[in-house]
A and B are shown apart, each in its own frame.
With several copies, the nearest count.
Chain A
Amino acid sequence: MRRQFVNDPGDVVAEALEGFAAAWPGHVRLNADPAYVVRARPASGKVAVVSGGGSGHEPLHVGFVGTGMLDAAVPGAVFTSPTAVQIRAASRAVDTGRGVLHVVKNYTGDVLNFRIAGELLADEGVESGIVLVDDDLATDTDDGPGRRGTAAAVVVEKVCGAAAERGADLAELTALGRRVAAGSRTLSVALAAGAHPGQSRPSFELPGDEVEFGVGIHGERARQRRAFGPSREIVPQMVSPLAEALGLGRGSRVLAVVNGLGATSDLELYGVFREARRVLKDAGVDVVRSLVGTYVTSLDMAGCSLTLVRADDEVLELWDAPVATPALTW
């Protein structure tokens, strides 16, 4: 039996956005209808970086609006793409004349609505470019819509946000974002599904001796179930395919993100990070930067994802650049 702190399920996102904006007045402003979040202090003279997608993944994306990262975030209903009109309105609101970079997780609805928004904006003379984030190795198949986008979005948004702050133009940002996305892969493991606001059953039930291996962030099941076991057995099953997919080897440098899917404690996430580092170290791979915490969720799913991102000097410098948002500040 799952319960949540909600009023009417249909109002969850609007009410949460209202609370979010009230909680972070120094960082963000909310436009309620159409719904989008912009920086409290608008930037000037730079390419605007805008992201968005369904809600239910908080702090992604609204939590990353602020100096050094996003200029605007466009939240849809839970697990539902924002509309093209929302995206257009948010993009218009933050365009300074140098164009808008759309960072989009690779889901049909998101891609479609951001593409349409791009066409609507073009009609109005606002230039935009898209970076598709498609890091989910579990959906790496030859046909179909391609790999899903998950936690690598945080890295792409951070890196592009920093580069935009330094004055990069839209073409440079698009190329940079695509390079980072291309160098990112993620695998996610669920121990228990989350439940939609107002629903009393989780989206799937797992037997006690199995995990969903390669799960997404929308409560859907994975293609595989594997045996549950201690982290020392599960984590290497995540690390090795990622390292292989990215062609990592002795001397490679990576940025690692260990991300909780909603209901996973920091104790567990840090334990997973410790295992991942160990496995990578044994392979000669150097974890030069990391982010461990709850950043891209699937409502209250119990599980975690591991993202590896190929790190070069430019990416590292942009990663290290100052950022001040509700969910990420340094």
Chain B
Amino acid sequence: MAEQLDIADVERWVLAFADAVEEEAGYLTDLDRRSGDGDFGSNMAAALRRSREAVAAAGSTAAGDPFQVLGETFLGHSGGTSGPLFGMWFREFGKAGAGAEAFTLEMLAGATANGWATVARLGSARVGDRTMVDAIAPASEALAEAVEGGLSLSEGLRSAAEAARVGADGTSGLLGRRGRTSYVGEAALGSPDPGAVAVALFYGAAREVAGA
């Protein structure tokens, strides 16, 4: 497989992510119902439907452009807490790939690290607070290790996807300390945090596109 993700790959990644979220929308909303206000899946799906059109219409000329579009769409149309956080998250990927023909593993590791920092800063969320950060952080660490260890892009993304999945699953056992889930306390235990699951789907889609 390619060691880079070019514009077409990135577009496929975005579409695969949108497909996955739309498929899981009911499940994600159900998770948010247990730990929050039950709008997560439908809000994400709506923002991604809009993003599909926007990405298609944009005519990207750099690998970061689809993410730039995604970021603007989420920041401009998605309410709630996760919408703007995902918007800023995608924006970091957009910045990382700005003007570039393709994403390398290093670039993705850098974007993930910056995205983590941004989400953590804006949401004041740390690992263990039962948020999307609990999937982002392990993915970021896996990518950093992959870069360090000289792994291929597809190997690195597989590792990131697996780490994100494990991180998301692990939120089932966490008590919420940020966002609405912090109001429901122990009632959320036993099911994972929807934002973390969505992050796992994001890296799952990347792994799929990378053929890993």
Contacts and interface: CB of A to CB of B under 8 A. Distances in A.
B122 A115 contact: yes
Interface in A195-212: none
B179 A83 contact: no
Interface string B99-142: 00000000000000000000000110000000000000000000
Interface stretch (A74-82, A176-184, A302-310): A74-82
Interface stretch (A17-25, A106-114, A163-171, A185-193): A106-114
A144 interface: yes
Contact of B87 (A76, A108, A109, A116): A116
A80 B84 contact: no
Contacts of A34: 76
Contacts of A108: 81, 179
A120 interface: yes
A81 B78 CA distance: 10
Interface in A12-62: 34
A46 B182 CA distance: 41
Contacts of A144: 182
B72 A112 contact: no
Interface in A80-100: 80-81, 83-86
A84 B81 contact: no
B84 A112 contact: yes
Interface in B73-90: 75-81, 83-85, 87-88
Contacts of B85: 112
Given A108-B179, A144-B182, A81 B79 contact: yes
Nearest to A85: B76
User: Majority SS of interface residues in chain A?
Assistant: helix
A119 interface: yes
B68 to A, nearest CB: 12
User: Majority SS of interface residues in chain B?
Assistant: helix
- Of A76, A77, A86, A120, chain B has the most CB atoms within 10 Å of the CB of A120
Given A84-B84, A84-B87, A112 B78 contact: no
A147 to B, nearest CB: 16
Nearest to B177: A143
A49 B81 CA distance: 24
B76 A83 contact: yes
Contacts of B72: 85
A76 B79 contact: yes
Contact of A113 (B84, B123, B182): B84
Given A85-B72, A108-B179, A144-B182, A116 B84 contact: yes
Given A112-B123, A115-B122, A83 B78 contact: yes
Nearest to B82: A112
A116 B122 contact: yes
A80 B79 contact: yes
B179 A116 contact: no
Contact of A77 (B75, B79, B81, B123): B79
A139 to B, nearest CB: 12
A109 B78 contact: no
A112 B81 CA distance: 7
A36 to B, nearest CB: 12
B75 A84 contact: yes
B126 to A, nearest CB: 14
Contacts of A116: 75, 84, 87-88, 122
Interface of A: 34, 76-77, 80-81, 83-86, 108-109, 112-113, 115-116, 119-120, 144
14 contacts: A34-B76, A80-B79, A80-B80, A83-B77, A83-B79, A83-B83, A84-B87, A86-B76, A108-B179, A112-B122, A116-B87, A116-B88, A119-B88, A120-B75
Given A80-B79, A119-B88, 9 more contacts: A83-B76, A83-B79, A84-B75, A84-B87, A85-B75, A109-B81, A112-B85, A113-B84, A116-B87
Interface of B: 72, 75-81, 83-85, 87-88, 122-123, 179, 182
Nearest first, the 6 closest Cβ-Cβ pairs linking A and B are A85-B76, A84-B75, A85-B75, A80-B79, A116-B84, A84-B84
